[in-house]
Amino acid sequence: MKHIKLFEAFVNEAYDKTDELVDLLSDATAMNMVKNEIKDLLVDYYKLDAKLARKIFNAYWKLDAKDRFNFEADDWKAFLKKQGLK
């Protein structure tokens, strides 16, 4: 049992949700959620700080619509890094 818990801790630590977050930002329908829904999702599921979650949401809507719909995964990762996501 001890080894299973150690393995689960390793998997959870090694699992990076950045790609999932990029998928969320790329999904225009999902991003139509209201500010508090997005903030809660980013805080609860992605384990982001509430301040960072609000910053990402606000920066997302400040992007030109063309950019929001045409960004590739690398663009979103750069966007998230610029917002302070490590």
Q: What is the mean pLDDT of residues 79-86?
A: 90
DSSP state of 29: T
Whether pTM > 0.75 for this model: the answer is no
Token pair in block for residue 52: 């960072």
Q: What are phi and psi of 58, to 5 degrees?
A: -65, -40
User: Smallest Cα–Cα separation from 47: which of 16, 9, 23?
Assistant: 16
Q: What is the mean pLDDT of residues 20-25?
A: 85
pLDDT one-digit tens code per residue, 24-45: 888 766 667 788 888 898 899 8
Token pair in block for residue 7: 């393995």
**How many residues would you count in the chain?**
86
Q: What percent of the chain has pLDDT over 70?
A: 77
- The alpha carbon of residue 85 and the mean position of all alpha carbons in its chain are separated, in whole angstroms, by 9
